[in-house]
Amino acid sequence: MRMTQSKDARAVRSAIGAIEAFLGRHWFLAALAVLIVLAGVWPEEPAGFLHRHNVLDYLIAAVFLNSGLCIRTDRLLAGIGDFRSFLLIQGITFIVFPLLMAATAMPIFSEPADLKAGFALLLAVPTTITSCVILTTIAGGSTAVALVSAVAGNLLGVVVTPLLLKIALQVEAAIPVLPMIQKLALIVLLPVIAGQCLRPLRPALFDSWKKGFSKFNQCVVLAIVYVSAARAVPALNGGAALIGGIAAYMIVFHVAMLWLSRLAGRLRGGPAELGPAIMFCSAQKTMAIGQALAGNVAAALGGQAALIMAPLIVYHIAQLTIDAALAQRMGVRAKRG
């Protein structure tokens, strides 16, 4: 009897040890899955608290302060001067992505008209900034190239996005430039500049903090995924079949864009660290600018902003979930060499 109990106890301890080892290696992916489920069953709080009190803005500013502290100034300057990567990323974002989505999504989702307008809005907006920089860093890529390309791409979008909307929908929709630049300056540029100013004081110390900063960045990604998913739940009320169809398309399309962007990065050549920066910056799309434009597009077309936003919301959740898991995997491989 005692021998049987001893064996059972060892089996339990072994199982607990295996679970602990798994969570130690894959805690990020486990947390990602839990938070996505939590967002579906409990969408209001604490996501509402984080959104109301601008907690994410403070966390994002801290991420960019960390980036400023950890990026060597010569690498940041090299990222600013890497015109080949910048042009490649913007070419995929504003030319290849729109053409492929117009060719594939428009015939499939031609009705209702508001949904079609939503796809047009999605293909027109620039890349994200925060998630591109964080995910590139987690994946072991060039944070400097991701930062420069994402920020410059959003500024370029002030001109290109309205032009693409004019071509796709024949509507006039201008990006609110001043609020965008103010937010960009406060939560991205100023923290990076502050970090760069502080870095020369203790560069070795800040470099030693990179591992801790990386964990913090991963936690910020989890917060962004949770808040985005939680806020999407009440907004996606267009019917389970329709939303399911959009989600299936977005997953396939985003994976295809990741593969295409990765291939383009390899053909471009250069250091291996350019690959993640090019891939994430090229395949992602910002929801913030889309939200700012959705009302204008709806007013111009006499449509519903909620349905127009549906493709943007679904793509945003898909890209965050897929890319967070992918970046984690790439980061582990990069550390192994």
Which of 18-22, 209-213, 316-320: highest mean pLDDT?
A: 316-320
Convert the pLDDT of each residue in 232-287 to its tens digit: 666 666 566 777 888 899 999 999 999 999 999 999 888 889 999 999 999 999 88
- CA atoms of 262 and 264, how far apart (whole Å): 5
79 part of a folded domain: yes
Domain count, the chain: 1
Convert the pLDDT of each residue in 59-115 to its tens digit: 888 889 988 888 888 888 988 888 999 999 999 999 999 999 999 988 888 778 888
- Give me the CATH number covering residue 111: 1.20.1530.20
The DSSP code for 141 is -
- CA atoms of 273 and 140, how far apart (whole Å): 7
Is the pLDDT assigned to residue 228 strictly greater than 90?
Answer: no
9 part of a folded domain: no
- CA atoms of 274 and 255, how far apart (whole Å): 19
Is the pLDDT assigned to residue 15 strictly greater than 60?
Answer: no
164 part of a folded domain: yes
Is the pLDDT assigned to residue 324 strictly greater than 70?
Answer: yes
154-169 mean pLDDT? 89
Calculate the CA dihedral of residues 176, 179, 181, 182 and round it to 10 degrees: 170
3 state SS for 78-105: HHHCCHHHHHHHHHHHHHHHHHHHHHHH
Convert the pLDDT of each residue in 192-207 to its tens digit: 999 999 999 888 888 8
- CA atoms of 56 and 134, how far apart (whole Å): 14
185 part of a folded domain: yes
282 part of a folded domain: yes
How far is residue 70 CA from its own chain's centroid?
21
Residue 120: exposure state from Cβ atoms within 10 A (0-12, 13-18, ≥19): buried
162-167 mean pLDDT? 89
- CA atoms of 188 and 121, how far apart (whole Å): 24
231 part of a folded domain: yes
15 part of a folded domain: no
| Total Cβ atoms within 10 A of residue 155 | 13
CB 258 within 8 A of CB 100: no
pTM: 0.85
271 part of a folded domain: yes
Task: Please give the residue range of the domain that contains residue 98.
Answer: 28-336
